[in-house]
Copies of this chain bind each other. A is one copy, B any other.
Amino acid sequence: MTSTDQRYGLARSVTLPGPLRLDGGVLLSPVDIAYETYGTLDPDGGNAILICHALTGDQHVASNHPVTGKPGWWTRMVGPGKPIDPARDFIVCANVLGSCMGSSGPASVNPATGRPWGMAFPVITIRDMVRTQAMLLDHLGVGILKSVVGGSMGGMQALSWPATFPDRVRAIVVIASTARHTAQNIAFHEVGRQAVMADPKWRGGDYYGIGGEATDPPAAGLAVARMAAHITYLSEAGLTEKFGRKLQARETKTFGFDADFQIESYLRHQGIAFVDRFDANSYLYITRAMDYFDLAEEHGGQLARAFRTSKARFCLVSFDTDWLYPTAESRAIVHALNAAGAPVSFVELSSPFGHDAFLLESPELNRVVDGFLKART
């Protein structure tokens, strides 16, 4: 490994011996971490920014996805001239523990058996993901982070950072996120998990070949799970604006069960495209981690206590049409930060696009993040 590699978007992975003690009590060893870095770490190590990805995201934040060939998932925020800029920042983005893009997860090989873990992989938490990121930063020689930035589940990790490693991060950006999963959040995830598990091809999670490849995965169940989740990422108004009751190319209803409405074929496409790039068991594990997430519960039931020893300043952003993690959830975090005496700025942005807004073109979001990261403390 060279720490000053000049290629833009350097995909790497590292196997660390661990063991990593997980919240569930299991000792995980070894720990594979797949990650990308952009830019160069300053000699004083002061320019490192960790970006945390969402449920189905990955380390390819600003470089092409190796499976789909599509541009990185946050090139609007990360790249030359963007708020997070490799010319200035040393940017690290790691595939979360439990995922399927190279980090340890249910498709990884269980050293005890020599075969893929499947459902024998230990259940993980958001905090376990954060601990894994800290192990990677140790490996990269990064001590204190300039900032941790994340949207959605990435925001959960960003929030968990100052609670877990209060001395290692100076600024936190939390976008379209929450400090705990509500009953409705859990309910939608449970529907998705049940859809996967109802697929006979799931086989109790044991659908991998020797190397963890899945030639006949529970694609139908995972597609249904993705479709249900996708509805929660979009606003009702956005759906109406984009699709309304518009029919497919044909002009009249078919009086059949083909996708008559554009929203139907859009959702079916979302489901089908997803299964090509994501592992069903990883979907189970990561949704579980999100449902378990309750930062207050980890700190005696008081969210403010999670930030008691934090030395970071915070930036919270919500979107007015996000009904998955509505503004009220961000506001609850802000109140807790206020109670803890932590510096925090908070803005609710207007967007027709619901939860997905954090991934879309948003000059306001870029201005907020840019201003926050550049501010002198």
Query: What residues of chain A have their CB less than 8 Å away from a CB belonging to chain B?
Result: 23-25, 119, 122-123, 180-184, 186-188, 190-191, 193-195, 197-200, 220-221, 223-224, 227-228, 231, 234, 236, 239-240, 242-245, 253, 255-257, 259, 261, 263-264, 267-268, 271, 284, 288, 291-292, 294, 297
B24 touches A267 (CB 8 A): no
**8 extra interchain contacts, Cβ-Cβ under 8 A, other than A182-B236, A188-B231?**
A24-B255, A123-B255, A123-B257, A183-B240, A191-B224, A198-B221, A228-B228, A257-B284
B271 touches A194 (CB 8 A): yes
Least Cβ–Cβ distance between A206 and chain B, in angstroms: 14
Known interface pairs A180-B245, A257-B288; A191-B240 also in contact (CB < 8 Å):
no
Nearest residue (CB) in B for A218 is: B198
Interface SS of A by simple majority: helix
B227 touches A193 (CB 8 A): no
B194 touches A261 (CB 8 A): no
Least Cβ–Cβ distance between A246 and chain B, in angstroms: 8
29 A-B pairs with CB atoms under 8 Å apart are: A122-B255, A182-B240, A182-B244, A183-B236, A183-B239, A183-B243, A183-B244, A184-B231, A184-B234, A184-B236, A186-B261, A186-B264, A187-B227, A187-B239, A187-B264, A190-B227, A190-B259, A190-B264, A190-B267, A191-B231, A194-B223, A194-B224, A197-B257, A198-B199, A198-B221, A198-B224, A245-B294, A257-B284, A257-B288
Chain B neighbourhood of A257, CB < 8 A: 119, 123, 193, 197, 284, 288
B194 touches A245 (CB 8 A): no
CA distance in complex: A240, B328 (Å): 14
Nearest residue (CB) in B for A293 is: B245
Most buried by B among A190, A227, A259: A190
Nearest residue (CB) in B for A254 is: B123
CA distance in complex: A284, B195 (Å): 17
A191 touches B236 (CB 8 A): no
Nearest residue (CB) in B for A190 is: B264
CA distance in complex: A214, B376 (Å): 69
- Which one of B197, B256, B291 lies within 8 Å of A123 (CB-CB)? B256
CA distance in complex: A288, B264 (Å): 12
Chain B neighbourhood of A263, CB < 8 A: 183, 186-187, 190
Chain B neighbourhood of A182, CB < 8 A: 236, 239-240, 244-245
CA distance in complex: A363, B119 (Å): 49
- Which one of B122, B184, B253 lies within 8 Å of A292 (CB-CB)? B253
Least Cβ–Cβ distance between A226 and chain B, in angstroms: 10
CA distance in complex: A180, B188 (Å): 25
Chain B neighbourhood of A234, CB < 8 A: 184
